[in-house]
Structure 1
Amino acid sequence: MSLLVAAAVLMAAVTHASWNALAHTIKDQLIAFTLIGGGAAVIGAVLACLTPLPHAAAWPYLVASALLHIGYQLLLMRSFTLGDFGQMYPIARGTAPLVVTVLAAVFVGETLGPWQLAGVAVASAGLVGVALWGFRGTDTRPHWPALLAALATGLSIAAYTVVDGVGVRASGTPLGYIAWLMILEGLLIPAYAWHRFRGSLLTRMRPYASRGLLGAVLSLAAYGLVLWAQTRAPLAPIAALRESSIIVGAAIGALFFKERFGAPRIAAAGLMVVGIGLMLRAG
């Protein structure tokens, strides 16, 4: 993995954490996802007019990825409903890189060297560890439905990561691929919100329109950078680097939401740095 690719993925992590933070400020998550998903679909439609159409071989992957992304969004909302954001999000994002490593080896034929494998494992351990640390020394016990929902979310992340890694390489146009992906995945939740709220949807969205549009731009940019990187490097290290968004999100929470960063998150950040170093050494 080159420094340029690593920098692009780390920038994607920052933008991903930023749009998640924006979504977190909107109390009604259905409205938040409607604005961000619908806004990304509109931007994708504009971008689709300016970029080449993806090659025919990429379309089955586009359709499969759109369905997986919708499932991911539903599972993520479910896990947030059942459990705490500070634990569900790291578990969901932290388990994905390890699963991507296995899926990429089985279905894509990507094998990693010992330094890359060590980097993925160390980074993932930091991300999952900070989520599970919250159960230590407290009366809190694991809420298994919430944990299962978070783990299922992680599996869906791993699945669409591998599908998109293959699809974007077959598309011939990363920009065209992300444009059509945003269109395909961004319409279902707004359609459901329109059915649920009917005439009051626009009124409900109006106070959050600017945040939703900014979140849509950041969301598209975040995944667009990841898709570009997937055409330049193996999937598993990219997945691990992308999930550094968890640490960025924790920092945003400490700075803007006055949430405690704490020693476990500092330790996780240190493990992430070690993991990144190991992955770059392989490049």
Structure 2
Amino acid sequence: MSEWLISLEGTEAGHQAALGLALLAALLHAIFGALQKGRFDPWLSRWSIDCWLACLSLPMVFLVPWPEPHMWPIFAGMVVIHFVYKVLMAMAFSRGAFTVVYPVVRGSGPLFTVVGAWLIFGETFAPLQWLGLFVLLAGIFGLAVYNFLFLEAERDTLGPALIFALLTGFMVALYTTYDAYGIRATANPFTFLAWFFFLSALDFSLLVPMVMRHRFRGVTLRPLLQRGLIGALVAYGSFGSVMLATRLDKVGEAAVLRETSTVFAAIIGWLVLKETVGPRRIALMALIAAGAVIVELAG
């Protein structure tokens, strides 16, 4: 499997596979965010997801080639980056509605990532791709501004929620670029994926019960753990898909296409979380999708 994936790197087939993986990651990441924001405290939701990821991923590290020595410092940096990301994400979700916070997180990420991909990997965007990126960003931030102006829920904490969301967006760009570097630094991409899911899940699994024990009061563990299992399985598809996409093709394009997750998130927020969606928000979501299409067609 790994030999076949590696053979696709830099080919048209690899480009098409990366496109499909990035769009799959977009859908799954929106579901993942909704699972963390939904029924339970976001801190507990993430704890449950990470517990499952740690348990399910432990056997996998023995089924892939052992990491090369130079990978261990890379893994250490990855753990720190993802821990900060998860803390900021939980702080944003605990203060703002899903359809308010999520667009800001995903909207700020691709711009930072495109710049990072240029600095680290030497990737460049064509002029029309930049146009598509700014169309996508206009839709995402337009959606965030609309939500900020017209949604009445959680008004008191909306300002801090948006600040944390913007900081989280920067961390999304950082982990996307860093993970792309990591998965390219090892001979076997599945070695990176197996250790990524195991190591990055240990922090919340161990720390939340120790420092946030009060959050478990009155919580029934069975439904929390059931939701965590679903979230862990979705995380495999979401994070795994986008990292494979960044190995097969350009990091910047994969990051931009993944941000169509904002469209999926708005649909989920409307259908599942019962958050308000009107014609203006639908138009802004269409703008996001149009920007992604421009980036792909102009590539």
What's the TM-score once normalised by structure 2's chain length? 0.85
Q: For residues 102 and 236 of structure 1, do their structure 2 counterparts lie closer, same or farther at Cα, with a shift above 3 Å needed?
A: same
Q: CA deviation at 1:134?
A: 2.3
| Pairing 1:138-157 to 2, within 5 Å after superposition | 143-157=158-172
Contact 2:148-2:158 within 8 A present in 1 as well: no
Alignment of 1:186-197 (within 5 A): 186-195=201-210, 196-197=212-213
Paired residue secondary structure (1:146): helix
1:11 alignment counterpart: 24
Q: Which amino acid aligns with 2:240?
A: G
Using the TM superposition, name which of 113-122 and 163-172 deviates more: 113-122
Query: 1:56·1:171 contact (CA, 8 Å) conserved in 2?
Result: no
The answer to whether structure 1 residue 220 and structure 2 residue 241 are counterparts is: no
State the SS of the aligned residue for 1:22.
Answer: helix
Structure 2 residue aligned with 1:206: 222
Mapped to 1, the partners of 2:185 and 2:221 lie a distance apart of 37
- Structure 1 residues 50, 150: closer, same or farther in 2, change over 3 A? same
The change in CA–CA distance for 1:62 and 1:268 in structure 2 (over 3 A counts) is farther
Structure 1 position 259, deviation (Å) = 2.3
Q: Name the CA distance, whole Å, in 2 between partners of 1:61 and 1:174.
A: 14
Unmatched 5+ stretches in structure 2 = 1-11
Q: Which deviates the most, 7-16 or 137-146? A: 137-146
C-alpha deviation, 1:37, in angstroms: 1.2
Segment of structure 1 superposing worse, 264-273 or 166-175: 264-273
Where in structure 2 are the equivalents of 1:21-32 lying within 5 Å? Answer: 21-32=34-45
Q: Hey, what's the Cα distance between the residues in 1 that align with 2:62 and 2:136?
A: 39
Match of 1:131? 144
Alignment of 1:180 onto 2:202: no
Q: Give the C-alpha shift of residue 218 in structure 1.
A: 0.6
Any conservation in 1 of the 2:260–2:289 contact (CA below 8 Å)?
Answer: no
Separation (CA, whole Å) in 1 of partners of 2:19 and 2:266:
20
Match of 1:69 among 65, 72, 82: 82
Q: How does 1:226-245 map to 2 (within 5 A)?
A: 226-245=242-261
- With the length of structure 1 as denominator, give the TM-score of the two structures: 0.90
In the other structure, the counterpart of 2:183 is 168
Gaps of 5+ in 1: none
Cα distance between partner residues in 2 of 1:137 and 1:221: 34
For the aligned residue pairs, the C-alpha RMSD in angstroms reads: 2.5
